[in-house]
Amino acid sequence: MEFKTASGRVEINPMRDGNMFHHENIILDIGQELWITIDSRRFKVHATKVRDDWWIHVLGHTLRLEMIEPGASGMDDEGELTAPMPGKILEVLVEEGQRVSSGDSLMIMEAMKMEHRIVASHDGIVDKIHYSAGEQVNQGAELLSLSDE
Amino acid sequence: MIKRVLVANRGEIACRILRACREAGIEGVAVFAGNDSGSLFTELADISIELKGEALADTYLNQEQIITIALENGCDSIHPGFGFLSERADFANAVIEAGLIWIGPSAEAITNMGDKMTARITMKAAGVPVIPGEEVEGGLAEILEVAPSVGFPLLLKATAGGGGKGMRAVHNPDNLEMEAKAAMREALNAFGDDRVYVERLLTGSRHIEIQILADSHGRTIHLGERECSVQRRHQKVFEESPSIALDAQLREEMGEAACEAARAVDYVGAGTVEFLVTPKGEFFFLEMNTRIQVEHPVTEMVTGVDIVREQLRIAAGEPMSCGELQMRGHAIEVRLYAEDPANNFLPCIGELAVFIPPEGPGVRLDTGVRQGDSVTPDYDPMLAKLIVWAPSRAEALQRMSRALDEFVVLGCTTNIRFLRELCDHPDVVDGWTTTDMIERLWPDGWTPDMPSMILDAGLLIASACETSGLGRQNSTKLVTAGESPSPFNTISRRFP
């Protein structure tokens, strides 16, 4: 089974023995509650699935692991810049065809009463701008696309 | 006498006030926008009335509608909480003109303190030290003109400002025009007033504020300080009392200056006077907040004074009930935000599929949400405040660490882990907290310090639960199709 984590994709295939699962030196016991054993110490953990993501609480840490469906393409959403929140475009700072460097400000949008800068994730050329100043955007809307050189 | 209070607010602070009303034997009336239907605060009220309209201006900021509801429902008073209409002198006036009691200071006091530039001028006249800077009346051109004389780094501040909105630090003169425009635009959107003035940015200084209470019987007292230096985006995340930077003498001097500031505007009610304290121990007036403040609980914990109850007493014309104050122990508050500290603290939305707050001795949770609630982009991303009290600062930090470790929130990204790491950071442990400390400690942004064992355990749990179909006992509501979770973690980009 494959998951997307903050540090990239990870594959994991735990060993199963009834309600007990093993991986490395960790044992998970799934019953009414979830308990893990690490180095013979037992800890209660919490997990829940919201849409495609597993949310896990382990020893004061919270993880969000996105499940990758088997056979899904390995491509990430490189090259498109999406709205992090629903909000309003305040200013478009670039033009189509313009060359930009990683870190350049591309747009300013307002969401949750604060201004946010949308910046280039990599060097490239602005391919297409999908929204202009004053327009409302939904979360996840593709704001503009960047092509590599 | 106050018998029925309308609480013109939502979320955590509405809960706090409604609970105080219950304790005082006063009835509480909540007003809520349609998208707040079913929120916790509506349950804590004796009566809950839905506000008509959708935009903020038609609901929580709609003075006329709120006053009409108060009158129609037999309320005798309105408590504005913080934010929204709390520092609107016109609202205070309208409430009083409608024959209701305004639970707050006079409209004149709000006006004098609410306009940051007028406040600077009033404080200078009262002999309270203010930050070197320039009042600006002439817009962008004048900002560009006076900036060099104030010197860099400088801070642009919205005259009508608060909550970090319309506030920009400028380190490089080349960015001045861009930042000034952004600050003016933000100020215009947030406050309907784009005036911005210029102050010297005092780096390495602490943000320390004094809580005051003043009643209509001529008594004005201070309740000690709150150290609120740990901030991101000019918003506080970690507050404590007392501050280790103050000795008894400086505390008395600042307390007296705060009372002087309050007396200068004939202040009645609860208020906070904010100061910057430089490493040399000089202090400068920043602003006065003419309302209850987010971080008021830390003062309540160390003084034993219930500030909201005192507000109700003072508004009813009674003298405040607290006598000589005896400070005791140490209190810390952290603000639980729906935000991603690993992505420049951008707000997040999601669903609180699991929400298990910590318990145990010395732990207080002031929350506006509970399990099953959704976090939407409609309002401020602050969900709750976790407050601890312990006999000493070291023990309070240990207690906060323990409490944060117990706090389980799944389904929406929060800053819990960031707050937890703060509690162990040597600078926090040593009390070297300054307003620029987050940038100083994490110049390239914060990332969680996660042992590989934790990630392995997480992967094991997720894959095992997924394959077995077990372990979903905590899932609450069904997920609405078409809504996607907060994208901050799935798009691997930073939005500085």
Q: Please report the pLDDT score of residue B479 as a whole number.
A: 35
Q: Are residues A13 and A64 in the same domain?
A: yes
Q: How far apart, in whole angstroms, are the C-alpha atoms of residue B470 and residue B399?
A: 34
**A116 and A86 belong to one structural domain:** yes
pLDDT band, very low/low/confident/very high, at B471 (cuts 50, 70, 90): low
With CB atoms and an 8 Å threshold, state whether A47 touches B474: yes
CA nearest to B381, candidates B336, B319, B418: B336
- B453 and A38 within 8 Å at the Cβ level: the answer is yes
**Percent of chain A's residues with pLDDT above 70:** 90
Q: How far is CA A80 from CA A130, A134, B493, in A?
A: 11, 20, 11
**Which pTM does this prediction carry?**
0.83
End-to-end CA distance of chain A: give it in Å, rounded.
35
DSSP code of residue B342: G
CB pairs under 8 A between A and B: 208
- C-alpha B469/C-alpha B299 separation (Å) is 48
CA distance B382 to B345: 12
Contacts of A71 (CB under 8 A, 6+ apart): none
A74 domain-assigned: no
Looking at residue B140, what is its pLDDT?
Answer: 92
When CB atoms are compared, the residue of A24, A28, A116 closest to B464 is A28
Q: How far apart are CA B129 and CA B210, in angstroms?
A: 15
DSSP SS3 for B106: coil
- pLDDT given for residue A74 in this prediction: 43
Residue B291 annotated among the catalytic residues of the structure: yes
Would you call A109 helix, strand, or coil by DSSP?
A: strand
Task: Give domain status of residue A73, yes or no.
Answer: no
Exposed / middle / buried, residue B356 (Cβ in 10 Å: 0-12, 13-18, 19+) = middle
Spatial separation of the C-alpha atoms in residues A20 and A28, rounded to whole Å: 6
Read off the pLDDT of residues A119-128 as tens digits, 9 standing for 90 and up. 887 788 888 8
Which of B353, B404, B493 shows the shortest C-beta gap to A121?
A: B493
For residue A47, list chain B residues with Cβ-Cβ distance below 8 A. Answer: 410, 461-462, 465, 471-472, 474
**CATH number of the domain encompassing residue A132:** 2.40.50.100
Looking at the fold, whether A94 and A63 belong to one and the same domain comes out as no
What is the C-alpha separation between B241 and B251, in angstroms, rounded?
A: 12
What span, in angstroms and rounded, lies between the C-alpha atoms of B415 and B120? 34
Q: Which residues lie below 8 Å from residue B249, measured CB to CB, with a gap of 6+? A: none
**A45 and A96 housed in the same domain:** no
What is chain B's mean pLDDT, rounded? Answer: 91
Same domain, yes or no, for A32 and A56?
yes
Distances (CA, A) of B187 to B345, B379, B440: 20, 17, 27
Please pick, among B291, B309, B335, B417, the residue that the annotation labels catalytic: B291
Q: Give the nearest chain B residue to A86 (CA atoms).
A: B377
User: What local confidence, expressed as pLDDT, does residue B470 receive?
Assistant: 67
**A69 interface with B at CB cutoff 8 Å:** no
Furthest-apart CA atoms within chain B: distance in Å = 72
Give the tokens for residue B480: 């609405």
The answer to whether position A48 is within a domain reads: yes
Contact (CB<8Å) A82/B487:
yes
Q: Is the pLDDT of residue B478 over 70?
A: no
Q: Band of the pLDDT at B496, cuts 50, 70, 90?
A: very low
The residue out of A16, A39, A68 marking a domain boundary is A68
Mutate to test the interface with A, among B175, B235, B410, B486 (most CBs of A within 10 A): B410
What pLDDT sits at residue B472? 57
On whether both A84 and A137 belong to a single domain, the answer is yes
The average pLDDT across B86-114 equals: 96
Q: Chain B contact for A135, CB < 8 A?
A: no
Looking at the fold, whether A61 and A89 belong to one and the same domain comes out as: no
Query: Once rounded to an integer, what is the mean pLDDT over residues B243-253?
Result: 95
Predicted confidence band of residue A72 (pLDDT cuts 50, 70, 90)? low
Q: Are B304 and B149 in contact (CB under 8 A)?
A: no
Over residues A83-117, the pLDDT tens digits come to 777 788 888 999 999 998 877 888 888 876 667 77
Structural domain ending residue among the three candidates A20, A35, A68: A68
In the block, residue with structure tokens 């943000």:
B207
Q: Quick one: what percent of chain A has pLDDT higher than 90?
A: 29
Q: Is the pLDDT of residue B276 over 70?
A: yes
Domain span at residue A122 reads: 80-147
Average pLDDT of the residues in B404-432: 96
Q: Are B155 and B169 in contact (CB under 8 A)?
A: yes
Q: Which amino acid is at B145?
A: E
A53 shares its domain with A26: yes
Phi and psi for B469 in degrees, rounded to 5? Answer: 70, 10
Q: Is residue A135 part of a domain?
A: yes
- Average of per-residue pLDDT across B85-104: 97
Q: What is the pLDDT of residue B70?
A: 98
Cβ contacts of B408 on chain A, cutoff 8 Å: 46, 57, 62
Does the distance separating the beta carbons of A118 and B410 come in below 8 Å? Answer: no
Cβ of B420 and A48 within 8 Å?
Answer: no
The domain tally of chain A equals: 2
Domain boundary among A68, A98, A116: A68
pLDDT, residue B159, reads: 87
Exposed / middle / buried, residue B329 (Cβ in 10 Å: 0-12, 13-18, 19+):
middle
User: What's the pLDDT at A113?
Assistant: 65
A85 contacts A140 by C-beta, under 8 angstroms = no
pLDDT tens digit string along B205-238?
899 999 999 999 999 999 999 999 899 888 899 9
Chain A: residue whose CA lies nearest to B481: A51
The answer to whether B331 and B388 have CB atoms below 8 angstroms apart is: yes
Residue A77 pLDDT level (bands cut at 50, 70, 90)? very low
Residue A103 included in any domain: yes
Mean pLDDT computed over A136-147: 83
How far apart are alpha carbons B34 and B73 in whole angstroms?
19
> Residue B486: its pLDDT value, please?
41
Domains, chain B:
4-103 (3.40.50.20), 132-200 (3.30.1490.20), 206-441 (3.30.470.20)
Q: Both A58 and A90 in a single domain?
A: no
Tell me the per-residue pLDDT of B138-179, one tens digit each, with 9 for 90 and over. 889 999 999 999 989 999 999 887 767 889 999 999 999 999
pLDDT the model gives residue B474: 47
Asked if the Cβ–Cβ distance from A23 to B459 is below 8 Å, we say yes
Compute the distance between CA of residue A105 and CA of residue A122 in angstroms, rounded to an integer: 11
Q: Which amino acid is at B432?
A: W
Block residue for tokens 């001795």: B361
Residue B489 has pLDDT above 60, yes or no: no
**How far apart (Å, rounded) are the C-alpha atoms in residues A87 and B478?**
26
Residue with tokens 């007036």: B285
Contacts of A57 in chain B (CB under 8 A): 354, 408, 410
- For B260-278, what is the mean pLDDT? 95
Question: Do A6 and A64 fall into the same domain?
Answer: yes
- Cis upstream peptide for B242 (omega within 30°): yes
The answer to whether residue A54 sits within a structural domain is yes
Interatomic CA distance for residues B365 and B334, integer angstroms = 10
A2-16, A21-35, B347-361: which range is least confident on average? A2-16
Residue B297: cis peptide before it, omega within 30 degrees of 0:
no
Task: Return the structure tokens found at B16.
Answer: 């706090």
- Answer yes or no: are the C-beta atoms of B2 and B100 closer than 8 Å: no
Please report whether residue A75 resides in a domain. Answer: no
Residues A125, A92 within the same domain: yes
Same domain flag for A143 and A94: yes
